[in-house]
């Protein structure tokens, strides 16, 4: 895992922590076999994005793009959201996670003076799922989203007989 320790204040902290969470997820994903990637682990959930490691990762990648596109659109762009793509192997997911992180870094570089914190609710963005966030809150949500699903994948692997996350 490589830490950059970017020196641009809150922007740097957010990007470093996001990259750290993505790298931790990629490290975990790199250990997952094809069989375990696609195996349905949660037969009870009504959430289609949480049945297998494969569906979780497809959701995580799409969500990462959704956060950036939401911020870009809030900055005045007019971008379409990306469709979810289900991939067949862990290596492809790691490539897509890297691309998603690069897309986030590009957005932060394209908007170096973007206001991160906003207390005026009328200036906050409203997500596709109806939540109101400042740009900073949405990026923080993106970081924790990765961490929550990494933990979920670790727990899925523990449910599979003989699979270690170490």
DSSP 94-126: HHHHHHHHHHHHHHHHH-TT-------GGGSEE
Full domain range(s) for residue 140: 9-159
pTM of the model: 0.92
User: Residues 32, 53: contact at Cβ < 8 Å?
Assistant: yes
pLDDT of residue 101: 97
Predicted confidence at residue 1, as pLDDT, reads 46
**21 has pLDDT over 80:** yes
CATH code for position 48 = 1.20.120.450
pLDDT (0 to 100) of residue 166: 58
28 occurs within a structural domain: yes
Q: Above 70 in pLDDT, residue 121?
A: yes
Tell whether 35 is covered by a domain.
Answer: yes
Residues 76, 74: Cα–Cα separation, whole Å: 5
In a domain? residue 4: no
The reported pLDDT for the residue numbered 163 is: 57
What is the Cα–Cα distance from 79 to 124, expressed in whole angstroms? 18
Q: Work out the percent of the chain whose per-residue pLDDT is above 90.
A: 85
| Number of separate domains in the chain | 1
Average pLDDT, the chain: 93
In a domain, 165, yes or no: no
């Amino acid at each position: 895992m490589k830490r950059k320790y970017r020196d641009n204040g809150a922007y740097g902290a957010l990007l470093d922590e996001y990259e750290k969470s993505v790298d931790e997820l990629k490290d975990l994903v790199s250990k997952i076999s094809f069989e375990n990637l696609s195996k349905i682990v949660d037969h009870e959930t009504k959430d289609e994005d949480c049945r297998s490691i494969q569906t979780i990762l497809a959701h995580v990648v799409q969500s990462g793009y959704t956060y950036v596109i939401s911020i870009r659109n809030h900055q005045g762009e007019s971008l379409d959201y990306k469709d979810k793509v289900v991939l067949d192997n862990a290596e492809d997911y790691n490539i897509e996670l890297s691309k998603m992180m690069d897309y986030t870094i590009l957005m932060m570089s394209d908007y170096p003076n973007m206001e991160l914190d906003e207390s005026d609710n009328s200036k906050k963005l409203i997500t596709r799922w109806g939540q109101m966030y400042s740009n900073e809150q949405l990026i923080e949500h993106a970081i924790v989203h990765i961490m929550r699903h990494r933990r979920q994948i670790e727990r899925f692997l523990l449910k599979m007989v003989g699979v270690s996350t170490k």
